[in-house]
Each structure stands twice: as C-alpha cells, then as structure tokens.
Amino acid sequence: MRIDVLTLFPEVLQPHVTASIIGRAQHAGIADIHLHQLRDYSTDPHRKVDDRPFGGGPGMVLMCQPVCDAVAAIEALDPRPALRVLLTPQGRTFNQAAAQRLATHERLLLICGHYEGFDERILDLLQPLEISLGDFVMTGGEIAAAAVIDAVVRLLPGALGHEEAALHESFQGRRLDHPQYTRPRAFRGLTVPEVLLGGNHAEIAAWRRAQSEQRTRERRPDLLAIDAARRPAPARSNRTNPNRQLASNRVIERAAIPPAVGHASDDRPSARAACRLAACGGAAAGSHVESEALR
C-alpha cells in the first residue's frame, strides 16, 4: 500500500512512520509512506498557505491553491488512484471497521489541516472522506494521520509477523479482547488464572471467549447491539457535477468508508460499476468516483 500525507509538519509524522512495526513494514515493502510539505506547493513567493477568514474571526484558514495543487501533483506521482482522506474533527469518527476498509485500498492520500482548518471549497472540490479521531480538537491533523496510518498498516498482510494477531484483538467481531498474562505466575499476590497454565487449548479458548463477552458487556455494551446502527445511510449521488456539491451533502456522504475498488470480497453492483468508472477516469477521478459510488 502507498500512503501519501500532505502536511505542514512532516517532522511530526516522521518518527511515527519510521519506528517499530510501521517502520519494519516499510522496510519489508508492505507499506510505502511519503510525507509532503504543503508549503512546497504554494505559488506565493513567501510560501504562504493560509489567510484570514472572510467575515472576520480569529485564526487563519488554509487556502485552496496550495492544497488543491498539492493533491493533483501528489496523485500524479503514482498511477494508482488514491482515496483522499481529510483529517478533521467534523468527520466520521475513526474506528477499527474504518481501518479495515482503508486497508483494502492500494493507495491513500491523507490531508492534514492546521490553524482554523480548510477553506470549505477544498472539501467541495476534492470530496475527500472526512475522518475524525474523536470529539476533541487538536492543533493539527498530524496525530490523527499517524493514528490512521498505524491502525491501517498493522492490518496489511505480513505487517505484524504473525497473521493471526490482528484477528484476536478488541473490536474484531465487535468484542473487546480477553485479559492477557505473562511471566511470572505470581506477582504481588496476584496469580495467573489456573486455566491458562493447564495447556488444554479448548478450555483456554472457552475461557477467553467468556472473558471477552463479559468485559464487552461490562465496558462496551454498545458493541453488542451495533448491527442495526451500523447500516449505512442511503447514498446521494452527485457524480455528474462534483464541484457543485453543497457542503451539507457531505454529512450524508460520511455515512460509510468505501472498500477498495474491485476489492475481492465486494461484488455489489455499485462496486463493480465503480471499478468500470475508475478504470475510465484516471487517478484523480478514480478516487472521487470510487468514494461516492461505493457508499
């Protein structure tokens, strides 16, 4: 998977993408992560990327020109269509299901904001998926981008070393993970549950399942009753004229993150149609068409 990140602070992200499992995934050729400095795409002699908001008010707003030109230039670096993801507190809250969907894509382009955020026309023109890390406001999108990269890359085949690891963690199957123990068997009077020491794999599996159910019921009962709530809202198409899309339409579009075009497990008619459209539409168009057709 290729991941491009557009940011004003690549130095914030650099350590996150070079250390530990993500760094190893890059060395192994599983992930290929590129950080791009937004100022490099400004046509302003002083590399300015922001300006004061029309209508007044505090702070600065990221301007259309550098962001739109950067996205076009970055997308042209690779023939694979990029799924555009814009980090914003106003987006759909990121979770494990979203990470799994993003991991099916061959290429992501993450766009980090700063200051007061983006000129609204950037969203109108690029029609990105809008992803939030949660209901709080940070100074920039870099930490959110690092979280998305980490959660997605560790799901890529080969990234964790042993494929099973990602299957047995919290939120897989809408359950929290069971408790884990390691040596020593006793620590400050607390002992490891006997069943884990006996070597009976069936009993261990049953104990873990029961623990997982119990702590999900206690801590996150919402996960157990989530099926109905997860159904995506009906899509509203604006394929014919994306640039005229109203900001309010995007609320509907945030309902679901699309799996990759042509992803093996997705045989819905809309997915197949998107494959054909993306094949005709080139890199930038592919990204846009895909994200609206698969909702």
Residues in the site for ligand SAM, rule: CB under 6 A?
87-90, 112-114, 116-117, 132-134, 136-141, 144
Task: Calculate the alpha carbon distances from 114 to 87, 91, 171, 289 in Å.
Answer: 10, 15, 30, 27
How near is the Cβ of 113 to ligand SAM at its closest, in Å? 2
State which residue, 42 or 88, has the beta carbon closest to ligand SAM.
Answer: 88
Task: Calculate the alpha carbon distances from 31 to 2, 21, 144 in Å.
Answer: 6, 11, 18
State which residue, 6 or 82, has the beta carbon closest to ligand SAM.
Answer: 6
Contact status, residue 74 vs residue 110, Cβ threshold 8 Å: no
How near is the Cβ of 77 to ligand SAM at its closest, in Å? 22
Peptide linkage before 242 cis (omega within 30 of 0) = no
How near is the Cβ of 239 to ligand SAM at its closest, in Å? 27
State which residue, 140 or 281, has the beta carbon closest to ligand SAM.
Answer: 140
State which residue, 126 or 289, has the beta carbon closest to ligand SAM.
Answer: 126
How near is the Cβ of 116 to ligand SAM at its closest, in Å? 5
How near is the Cβ of 185 to ligand SAM at its closest, in Å? 42
State which residue, 12 or 196, has the beta carbon closest to ligand SAM.
Answer: 12
State which residue, 84 or 114, has the beta carbon closest to ligand SAM.
Answer: 114
Residue 5: its H or E element: strand 2-7
Buried b (16+ CB within 10 A) or exposed e, 268-284: eeebeebbebbeebebb
How near is the Cβ of 47 to ligand SAM at its closest, in Å? 19
State which residue, 133 or 153, has the beta carbon closest to ligand SAM.
Answer: 133
Please report, as a single letter, which amino acid is at residue 148.
Answer: V
CA-to-CA distance for 132 and 147, rounded, in angstroms? 10
DSSP letter for each residue of 186-233: EETTEE--GGGGS--HHHHHHHHHHHHHHHHHHH-HHHHT-HHHHSPP
CA-to-CA distance for 161 and 154, rounded, in angstroms? 10
Q: Which residue has the tokens 């989530």?
A: 226
Select the residue whose beta carbon is closest to ligand SAM and give its number: 113
Q: Is 273 helix (H, G, I), strand (E, B) or coil?
A: helix
How near is the Cβ of 141 to ligand SAM at its closest, in Å? 3
β-partners of residue 191 are 186
